[in-house]
Structure 1
Amino acid sequence: MAVLTSNIDTGSETFRRNAEDFESRRDAVERARQAAVAGGGDRAHRKHAERGKLTARQRISRLLDPGTAFLEIGQLAAHDVYDQPVPSAALVTGIGVVAGRLVTVFANDATVKGGTYFPLGVRKHLRAQEIARENGLPCVYLVDSGGVYLPLQEDLFPGEHHLGRIFRNIAEMSGAGIPQIAAVMGSCTAGGAYIPTMCDEAVIVRGTGTVFLGGPQLVKAATGEVVDAETLGGADLHTRVSGVADHFAEDDEHALDLVREIVSRHPAPPVTEPPVPPQEPLYDPAELPGIVSAGLREHIPAREILARLLDASEFSEYRARYGTTIVCGTGRIGGFPVGVVINDGILFPDSSLKAANFVELCVQRDIPLLFLHNINGFMVGSQYEAEGIAKHGAKLVNAVSTARVAKFSIVIGGSYGAGNFAMCGRSMGPRLMAMWPSGSSTVVGAEQTATVMALIRKDQLAKQGRTLTAEEEQAIRQPIVEAYEKQSQPAYFGARLWVDAVIDPVETRDWMTLSLAMAAGSPKQETRFGVFRM
């Protein structure tokens, strides 16, 4: 492999300006992150502790092997979405190492609305199950939930991808041999009761864990019977009488020890080791904020990014002299091989063909793919339409859509329109997708959209013999630009689960190393490409 070299002047005005702009974007994401991690706040955490319970994040920390990473999924979910705060959608999910094995963890945060499921909480749960299924990861459910948030039941209950899909997924994954393990560490009511009862094995905590289809209030309303929660569905009943749970735990710590023991005796394979020893890049990843351009219309030098992400800054480039507005090639991250596709300009017919061919090669050689987005889209204009830009772009979208090697996407700059699809945006099925704080994504850029809408209005008025005044044009443009700017931001994307995480550039190597280790141990799938129009 060739060693990438850097020509960045870290003392330049451009580098400083970029870094300052990035810091302001990072601050906006960090405020959302802090709100997510705070959960229900100090008062709710104190009440939790008084009941002898750990918080959701404490439970995950005690469950994971010491010193190992946790790749959190959907941390910013529901941020500023509802008319009330619902940090992390009252659910913490992610991928971590338990007893030497990668697992997917689901932990209800009962400090937030009693751990009830909001619509985004259900979507987050389903997304984490999708990741677990695709990668063959055991699922560990740390249950502490009051069930459905009833005021929003129409967005939670009746649809194919609503609450019931959680239970269907558990059944199907169990049937496929993917271990399903639950620890009931708090309330587990109504439909939520089916999470532990459908799992392969279930632990329940004495005094705090309860499982029942109808709680004491519902039982009294329906039958007149007066019964307390522990008698109705506590640990003693369910481990000694009903058989609903398998293991009796004295407290949260004991329950987590039992879960670790259950995971350890399942036949899930240990974490895959990298085929070669990892090496640090020759250039510091901490320099990336100064390289990512402050203006989204400005160029981000692709090879400078790769020099700070790839092991030893080594990169074997594919067709370096052809289709130069996209850079493709192979390298390693954390010792794992990876094929990289990164934008270095707009997509033309030749760059589209080059990237499609490279995807084919990675599929043939079973190399995972990493897409680094900084793309305005495909080139437009009469010349390029005549050259077949639509069909050549479609070849790339076809290849990306149907490739069954593990695919990962990170939006590092802009990601607009069909360019997002070609670079394996969310709709193309990446195993995991993230954004840097510098990322931005909409169907078209804000300024372009505003200009198009103003031109349409001008044409309408021209047919009436009128002209568009500057004030009228501004009244059209301003709300569009403001809306697009807000909707394109990483925190907005993360809140709606359009990406799995918003990560810092310096975290990217760790994030990708765990992702590639997960992919290396996942079931292999056969690729069948669709028809490529010639």
Structure 2
Amino acid sequence: MSDYGQRYLSQVSTASERFAANRDDQLALVERLQALLARAEQLSAAARPRFEKRGQLLPRERLGRLLDPGSPFLEIGNMAGYLVDDKDPETSVPGATQIVGIGYLGGVRCMVQVDDSGINAGAMTRTSTRKGIRAMDIALQQKLPFVHLVESAGANLLDYEVEMWMLGGGIFARLARLSAAGLPTFTVLHGASAAGGAYMPGMSDYVVGVKGNGKAYLAGPALLKAATGEVAADAELGGAAMHASVTGLVEYLAEDDAEGIAICRDLVAQLGWNRHCPSPPAGAYEEPHYPTEELLGIVPVDYRQPYEAREVVARIVDGSRFLDFKPGYGVTLVCLQARIYGMPVGILCNNGPIDPDGASKAAQFIQLCDQAQTPLLFLQNITGYMVGTAYEQAGMIKHGSKMIQAVTNARVPRLTVMIGASFGAGNYGMCGQGYDPDFVFSWPNTQLGVMGGEQAARTMSEVFRAGAARKGKPVDEAMLAEQEARVTAHYDRQSGAFYTSGRLLDDGLIDPRDTRRVLGMALQTCWEARHRVVQPNAFGVGRM
């Protein structure tokens, strides 16, 4: 095994009251996450009688048949839609009627999207559309075949939004781009795919249709009758059997869901996809010396309580070993060289706000990793850059800009995990979503926003007092106190990880104990993308 770097000597007392309190707080959030994810699964499973009557598998059963048994599945956007349309925490369902993630079909790493037609018949919302677009963007960037198990009632016309209609075109454009980039696209037509959704099979390279249940039409029977007065049956209008024999939209006709999925797996196997990419180096690695379970007790839920970021890293990297880059300079910005499952990685994490020295150190470290083609990992617990006369005169803007330049233009894979605070320009400098990291995940304790609610409220009060002083007017402190309470509540309501992840401001929430596993899958995906040879074309494969 590799003995890269030096093993970190932990100073954490797992028997302390603080450790126990942190663990209890984190576990409560993890249990909330698990309960919310189970809410979507249970709601979908409640439709079983309807599916069985049609001879269908439930969406999660389809996914289970599609993926290699026992293989890892990296879910994307697990909280999408939570508190977006239904803003009641007691009833809102995460997932946005889709199950999306990276999994293996016959050993081939693919992006998989399954319409969760057990919930509202798989009807699409604006968040569903954005989630699908994110899945396709990842597939394009990471050079992944795209597999879609389709059954959706289409857009919910009662909740029509013009923005959703406009966004929807981006789905079909991305299918065209994937095909043109040499990345095969597959559709299994399990049920209805109507209106714009008909272009899901229409724009895919390979289409498997399930006899009887699979349907694709630009206008379903109800819309057709309303628009033209014509009365037509599902089967003749857009049934899978008709498309297999008349239009040529369907290449492979299956008797049922299980056979359709089996055909899709055979098609992926037929690609010989892994011939076009070398296998990753099979280097030995050592599990962390300290249990990943201890992450729960190390990181407090309250981001204002300090902790040592190296303690987190020691529970994620191989052997709990790393090299500490300039540990005595810019000390609040920690830069470490380590390995995860044998793969080298440069890690940036926070022990406080970023000062000018820390920003300069980070910029150099990022450029060194880029030169060495070493992926970057940003573990965010950052309230921002240092402010004040001394820091302004020390060039905080200039040095912070150097860091952001380096973060933005690094050519190596960039992974971000938000594990605490993620405020203001600190989010930017630590490669937040706006800087297009390859993947960005959050722990359930994350707080995200321009600033904390109390800070925003106090700032607005100071602005009000300064304005009143200029005008020579008295300050109504009672009014200001009421305003501060209102502003604090407004900011804090939007900063929690469940709220922000529901709006797809990350790729999903993860249990802190799964961080190493998630990063391993993400790093392997990025490695494969950068070593894969594809056969691009000027246009996607046209249906003939």
Shift, 1:470, TM fit? 4.3
- Which of residues 317, 328, 331 is equivalent to 1:310? 317
CA shift, 1:163, in A, is 0.4
- Of 276-285 and 492-501, more deviation after overlay is shown by 276-285
Which letter does structure 1 place at the counterpart of 2:464? R
Alpha-carbon deviations, 1:372-412, whole Å to 9, x = none?
00111111011111111001001111111111211110111
In structure 2, the residue matched to 1:129 is 136
Partner of 2:59 in structure 1?
Answer: 56
Question: How far 1:157 sits from its partner (Å)?
Answer: 5.0
Task: Tell me if structure 2 keeps the 8 A contact 1:32–1:491.
Answer: no
1:315-334 to 2 correspondences below 5 Å? 315-334=322-341
**What is the distance in 2 between the residues matched to 1:467 and 1:29?**
48
Task: Determine the C-alpha separation between the residues in 2 that align with 1:282 and 1:467.
Answer: 61
The counterpart of 1:268, out of the listed 273, 277, 287, is 273
Q: Residue 244 of structure 1 is aligned with which of 243, 249, 260?
A: 249
Match of 2:28 in 1: 24
**How many Å apart are 1:461 and its aligned residue?**
3.0
Identity percentage over the alignment?
Answer: 37
Aligned to 1:10, which of 11, 14, 19? Answer: 14
Per-residue CA deviations over 1:66-91 (Å, capped at 9, x if unaligned) read 10111111111111211485541111
Match for residue 112 of structure 2 among 78, 100, 105: 105
Aligned residue-pair number: 522
Contact 2:416 2:431 (8 Å CA) reproduced: yes
Structural mapping, 1:435-454, within 5 Å: 435-454=442-461
State the shift of 1:310 in Å: 0.4
Q: TM-score, length-normalised on structure 1?
A: 0.94
Structure 2 segments unaligned to the other structure (5+ residues):
533-544
Q: Which amino acid aligns with 1:10?
A: T
Aligned counterpart in structure 2 of residue 194 of structure 1, from 199, 207, 210: 199
The verdict on how the C-alpha distance between 1:122 and 1:383 changes in structure 2, with shifts beyond 3 A counting, is: same
Instruction: Return closer, same or farther for 1:15/1:387 CA change in 2, 3 Å cut-off.
Output: same
1:210 maps to: 215
Contact 2:288 2:319 in 1 (8 A): yes
Q: Equivalent residue for 1:66?
A: 69
Deviations 1:268-325 (A, max 9, x none): 3279545412321000110111110242112121111111000111112222222111
CA distance in 2, matches of 1:2, 1:324: 19
TM-score, scaled relative to structure 2: 0.92
Q: Secondary structure at the match of 1:88?
A: coil
Contact 2:36–2:93 (CA under 8 A) maintained in structure 1: no
Q: Match for 2:54: what amino acid?
A: R
Superposed displacement of residue 524, structure 1:
6.7
Q: Which amino acid aligns with 1:61?
A: G
The 1:25–1:222 alpha-carbon spacing in structure 2 relative to 1, beyond 3 Å, is: closer
Name which of 37, 44, 48 aligns with 1:45.
48
Q: Which stretch of the first structure deviates more once superposed, 335-344 or 169-178? A: 335-344
Q: Distance in 2 between matches of 1:272 and 1:473?
A: 63
Moved more, 265-274 or 170-179: 265-274
Greater shift in the superposed pair: 182-191 or 211-220: 211-220
Q: Deviations over 1:321-352 (max 9, x none)?
A: 22111111221112222111111111011110
**Partner of 2:273: helix, strand, or coil?**
coil
**2:423 aligned partner:** 416
Distance 2:253 2:400 in 1: 58
Residue 301 and residue 155 in structure 1: after superposition, are their counterparts in 2 closer, same or farther (change >3 A)?
farther
Q: Partners of 1:453 and 1:46 in 2: how far apart?
A: 56
Is the Cα contact below 8 Å between 2:99 and 2:116 reproduced in 1? yes
For the aligned residues, what is the CA RMSD?
1.8
Post-superposition shift, 1:466? 4.3
Corresponding residue for residue 171 of structure 1: 176
Change (3 A) 1:524 1:276: closer
Aligned equivalents of 1:294, 1:226: Cα separation in 2: 59
* Aligned-pair CA distance for 1:158: 5.0
SS in 2 for 1:142: strand
Structure 1, gaps ≥5 residues long: 526-534
- Equivalent residues of 2:207, 2:251 under 8 A apart: yes
Partner deviation per Cα, 1:181-215 (whole Å, 9 max, x = no partner): 11000101111111111111100001110111111
Q: Does 2:497 align with 1:494?
A: no
Amino acid at match of 1:194: Y
Q: Secondary structure at the match of 2:62?
A: helix
1:480 is the counterpart of 2:522: no
1:307 and 1:142, CA in 2 relative to 1: closer, same or farther beyond 3 A? Answer: same
Tell me whether 243-252 or 277-286 shows the greater mean CA deviation. Answer: 277-286
Residues 353-502 of structure 1: pairs in structure 2 closer than 5 A: 353-502=360-509
